[in-house]
Structure formats: structure tokens, C-alpha cells
Structure 1
């Protein structure tokens, strides 16, 4: 029989691989030349020697080792193999962790990330990691009820993030539906929470929507005293009404001034990954006014790749805040006009104040996807004549209101 003192003082001669100090009923302490000591219980299933590791000394004391041996003996007497039972427990624990909300969410994210845009993929995971995983991430999907999910989402709602709480409910629903498909749960509690949250009031990007005020804005831009390239970016934002990210990231290789055409590659557009890979380029016909601005700008930045390079490095596009900062410098607050507001300005004024323009052509030029064969047709090059007319009519109209001319009505030729 061993004692605590014997266990503490036990050593292994350097010429031996190990030394075993036996206690009783198959329990022994194995000592290595390095000084490590481990408890084992030896038993004989089917007449063959087997052993069960019971931990390391002194973390597991002699008394604790004997208790662990006795528990294992009881399992053996009941007909179980303690080694196999331990393996089963480990597998069960691993299987249990594989069906937790966080595990299934990460599995779903890995499955969908290839199809999602990089921005949406990163945002989806970031939102889950911040607002769902800390509260329900460790729970098996089957154990998460609607009240439990509601409690987690109420924390987000209490911050006033009314849109985020709806996004998170949808994200959670995607995880549960994936769990249903893969047999990890049977229901989607997120579906039961529809209508459970405060109404979200959509706040649109601020924009100048009246022709007279748009004329004032254009005159202010004309007198902008900052960087010439920033003034050009403001002017083209109004003329081309493309997304701010597309404007600031323009490359000279995309522009054919002789053909008066800007071709934005599919991969640069706001689309899914599949859309970026398989989609068509977005065509933007250039009115004579836009061509003139770009010819002047080419004298400043035409030697490089980017139309609007960063003033700091020249290797990256201008900051996403440059146009908004310029608008603030012109006296327009964030509640009055934004870089994105040029799109709303163009769409609203064209629809309400310029007769004879096909709304579908406006939507196509805005790069808004339209379902059905008509929407696809407007994205094809053979419909460029209508786009060319639209862009020239719009540029002429902007000149008219900038000069303070009649703002209504105006009819496309």
C-alpha cells in the first residue's frame, strides 16, 4: 500500500524507462525519469490487460486516485468497460458542442461565405459574435426557445439598435433553418419573434430633391475652392449619379473619352460574389459636360491609375469621407446633403420634373437590379441609345438649373 510520503518521494532510476509503484486492487503510480507521475488502474477485460488513466500526481492525490479507481471498478462490475465508457463520453461531449448555436452558426457562415459579398460575410459574423454568441452561443440549438432568443435580442433593442435587432433575428433564423436541414434541431424560434420588436423607422440618406435647391448646390460646387479633383468628384457625382464608392474608385482604364463611355467592371459593382464574377459590366454613357470635366482632370491625375487618387499616397482612392467633407465645407449639413444623396437627387428630379424619360432606364442607369426579362434587357449594350439620351438630357437640365433657369416643366427631346 502506498502512502502520500512514498508518492511524493518516488523517483525513477535514469536507466529505466519507467517505475511502477503499486497500491491495491490494480491501482499504481507510474514514475518517469523526468519526474512526472501518473495514476493508472489496471484491469482485465476479456482476459487481456488494459489500463485506465486516472490523472497526474500531485494534482490527483493518493486518496482521490483510490476513489477514482473505486468508481471505475463499479463501472466494470456493472458490465461496462471504463476505457470505452470514457471514449463515449468524450464523443458525446464533442457531438454536443457541434450542435451549439455558435458551432452551427459558424458552420452555416462557412457554407455561405463563398456566395456572399466579403462585406456582408464579415458583418454577419461580427454581429453574431458581438450580440448572439455571448448569450446563446454555448447552448445546443434544441435548447434555445423563443423566450431565450428574445432575451438576447432585447439587449440589442435596449441600445436603440432597432434595425440591428431585426437583422440579428434574421441571422438567427438562418442558423436555425440550417440546423433543421441538418438534423440538429426541429424548429426555428426566430420565426415566432416576428412582430416582437419596436418599429424601425428608416432614415433615408439626406439629399437635395427640389430643382431650385439643386441649382443652388451646383452653383456652390462650381465655386468650390478646395482641391480641383474634389470639385470634379462633386460635379461627376451629380452628373453620373453612381454610388459614392464607384465614383471615388474610378480608374482611367475604365473610361473611353472618345466614345464617351465609362465601363465599370462587374467586380467593382455592389453585387454578390456570384454577380461580381458572372455579371455584366455597368455602362455609364458620358454627357459632353462629363467628358469635358474628365479631360481637364486627366491633366492632373491622368498619369496614374486612379481618376481620384488619395492626396497622401496616390496609390489608393480618395477617402470615402472626402465628398461628404467637401459638402460640409460648402455649408451643407449631414441632414441636408450627402455623397449618396446625388443618386436620390437625380432619380427624384428626373421622375418628377423631366417628362419623356422611361423610369426603367433611370433604374438601369442607377444599377438597380430589376426582375424579369425587361430588367436584364436594359443591362445589355444594345439599349445604350436610351441611356445616352438620358445622361445628356440630365446634364443639360443641370446646366439649366445651375444657371437659374426655369426648373419646371422640362421635356426630354
Structure 2
């Protein structure tokens, strides 16, 4: 039998020669000094030879192990050389079956059961949060720690619910892969138990000014109806409740061409008890800043011929969907991190902090009035709504100036893509209004 010492000591000769080992294994020494492991066997009545690599990269012990593995395959009635080639092809194909490739196949197969917007949301969430990390890896080689690492990155930015949804989608991809015979198990299946629990109670909101601006820009750059983008901007500027914004009517706005533009939300549309809804002077007054007026000017060519500022896409006599702004924030990656109602928390937090440093007496009370928080004393509430209106207008301007820094002009939001990335079609919109545009006074008399 061949020993390792004999293999090391073998010198080249003018012609190739063999150093034999047991069971047809031998070391072929070439004139150039190469030492190659070979194994002879018979299959289907024919003499064949199989290569196991070069010595010393493949040791004597390794060569014997390869011979034994090949002999086992031969005993099963298969040609070891053919089995080796098939295994190589299988490994190459497994490398081609990346997570992204399988995920896109899964999405293409399943998207017919979803609404178009939901289907677009799903693939965009994978493109944004999953593919950059593990999309290029073979799906069969992914492990629970690798998948958990992706989900932890999502949690780190505060998107707890998004992480849970992404886990479900990753798991669905693996289930599809199992059915196709591409993978054997689902490493995402049990990860739900170790993800952070959802926050309960207060609705999620970004209450720092710079991240808040960043979120608005990201959402406005995403695909959406221009009306939805403008609704998001006006909601951020006015901090009204989303339900009050959705139902906004053009005839609620006063003095839009004047120096003291105002949005008078009828008490009947306000959240509150029956006393407030029945109160004659219970309307909520929202002073409008130049930034808010710019939003209305961009919106007028789109919806100014109807009663509602933000009508439904299908039924112009009905308000836009209560989920439209929320879905826009979700698509931008802020699901579980900021909701439409969160602009009120942002306004309250940021403006109260500003008032503590720069404000006047009673500014905290004024800020509460701007949020339409009903005072306990009914008479005091009616008085404050009138007496504090000038200060409310000043604070509204402070908020608008801080919030709007770095944000694009509202008119530019009309021209951004309406449909998802990859769609060739664009929805036509009316031309942007001129800078000297004036609202028709007949519709907006004070």
C-alpha cells in the first residue's frame, strides 16, 4: 500500500508512472512533477477512471475517502463520474436560486390574488428591506440567524410591525421554495417569537423635526395620486385630525386671497361631545400659513370644480379613503413608525418644546386650542378660540417655517409619478397654477 512518505518522495521520470494503493486507487506521477490521484473502476462492462485531485492538496487520507464514497455510489448501480457531474450541476443551479430570484417567482405566482396596490407594496418592501441584505444569497443556504439579522435592522429604525410583516413574507417565499423542491425548510418560521412586541397605546409618531421632514420627503417621492401627496402635506402643516382633513370642503375656507386666510371646520365635523357639536361657536378655526395656501393653490386645479378638497378616486362626491395617507407612509417604509394621526403628536411635542424655550405665557394652552382639545369650561373654550386667534396664527407660522425647511414646493408634487416604479403610464394632471393665481372669491367669501 502507498504511504504518505512514498508519495512525498516520488520524483518525476521521463514517462508517467503509477504508485498504487488499495482498491484500484493510485497516484499518477507526471514528467513535469505533478502528482494526480486516480481511481480505476468498471461500469456497465467498461473500464473507467475517475480523478480525485492533486497531491498534496488532496492528502492520501482524503483520496481514500473520495475513493470509498465513489465506490459506494458504484455499488448503488450509478456511474461515479456521472454522479459527480450531476452534483456539480446541482450545486451550480442551487447557487443560481438566490432568495431574490425565488421571491420574485413567488410574487409573480401569487400577485393575482392581491389588489394591484397591495401587490406593489409587497414587492417594494422586499426590494427595500430584504434583497439588499440576503437577496443575492442562495436561498437553500439561508439560516435563521441570517434572516433574523434582516428583521433586526427593520426593528432598529422603529418599524416593529413592518418587521413582523416582512417575516411573514419571507416565510411565504420559503414555503414556495419548499413546494418547488428548492429548499428543505423555512428558517423564518419560528422567528416571530423572538421579534420585539408591538407597542400598544399611543399611536406611533416621529416627534423629532429632522426625521419628520425626511419622512415627508420620502413619502412624497413615492408613487401616489397628487391629491394624496397634497393631503399629506396639508395634514402635516395644520395638524388637524385625519378624518377632519378627509372631509374638508372648499366652502369651509375663508379669505384665501386676503391677509388672514382661515379654515373653519364646522363643529358638526369635529371630534367631541354633543355639547360641542351643538355649540353655536364650536367651529374649529385653523389659521392658514402661506405654506398651506401653496398646497391649496396646487390642489385647486385638481379638485376645485367639486365640493371636496380630497375626493375619492372613483366617487368624486365621497372623501378619499381613510387609508390613503397611511398606505403612502407605509410604502415609504414607515409602517409601524408613523401614522397620519402622528402629525398631531409631532406638532404638540415640537411646538411645546419650542414654546418652553421661545414662547410666551399661555402658549401651551394656545397649542392645545390649535389641536382642538376641548377645554373643560365651555365658556372659556369659546372665548379662547376668539381671543387667542392672532397668537395661533403666529404659532402656526412658526410650525410651518420649521416643518417646510428643505421640502419641495407643493406644486412640484403634482408632477411626480402616479404609478409604481416600472409602470410606463403616467396619469395626466391639470397644468400647475401660475404664481399670481387668485381663488374665485364667490366660493370663498368670509
TM-score (norm: length of structure 1): 0.46
Higher relative contact order (CA 8 A, sep 6+): 2
TM-score (norm: length of structure 2): 0.43
